[in-house]
């Protein structure tokens, strides 16, 4: 999520900077790792019907609440 004022932190007003490891090469590598490792996990859990998806492009607190709700719903259905 971008800051309200460009280049300034919303919470402490400090100047924002780009991390030195935030480069094209690093991002390409992350995408490769996703393809090689994460994608097969997604496929696996989808196959055994245990994959839950949610949109994580909202405010962090809202996303957390949604994750907790999904986990609770899953636990209730286990009837342990
Ligand atoms: Zn800050």
Q: What pLDDT sits at residue 29?
A: 92
Which segment of 8-12, 18-22, 47-51, 65-69 scores lowest on mean pLDDT? 18-22
Estimate to the nearest angstrom the gap between the alpha carbon of 21 and the chain centroid: 19
Percentage of the chain modeled with pLDDT above 70: 94
pLDDT digits (tens, 9 = 90+) for 4-33: 999 999 999 999 988 877 888 998 998 999
Domain assignment present for residue 15? The answer is no
Domain assignment present for residue 6? The answer is no
Write out the residue range of the structural domain in which residue 58 sits: 24-78
Domain assignment present for residue 9? The answer is no
Q: Flag whether the pTM goes above 0.85.
A: no
Domain assignment present for residue 16? The answer is no
Domain assignment present for residue 11? The answer is no
Domain assignment present for residue 19? The answer is no
Distance 16 CA to ligand 1 centre (A): 8
48, 51, 68 from 44: Cα distances, Å: 7, 8, 22
Distance 15 CA to ligand 1 centre (A): 8
Domain assignment present for residue 12? The answer is no
* 8 Å CB contact between 4 and 10: yes
Structure tokens at 32: 């490769």
Work out how many domains the chain is built from and give that number: 1
Helices and strands of the chain, counted as H and E runs: 3, 0
Distance 32 CA to ligand 1 centre (A): 31
Domain assignment present for residue 37? The answer is yes
Q: What pLDDT sits at residue 43?
A: 93
């Amino acid at each position: 999520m971008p800051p309200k004022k460009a280049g300034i932190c919303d919470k402490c007003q400090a100047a924002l900077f780009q991390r030195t490891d935030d480069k094209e090469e690093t991002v390409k590598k992350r995408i490769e790792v996703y393809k090689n490792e994460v994608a097969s996990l997604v496929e696996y859990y989808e196959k055994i019907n245990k994959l839950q998806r949610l949109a994580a492009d909202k405010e962090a607190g809202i996303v957390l609440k949604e994750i907790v709700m999904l986990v609770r719903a899953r636990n209730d259905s286990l009837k342990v």
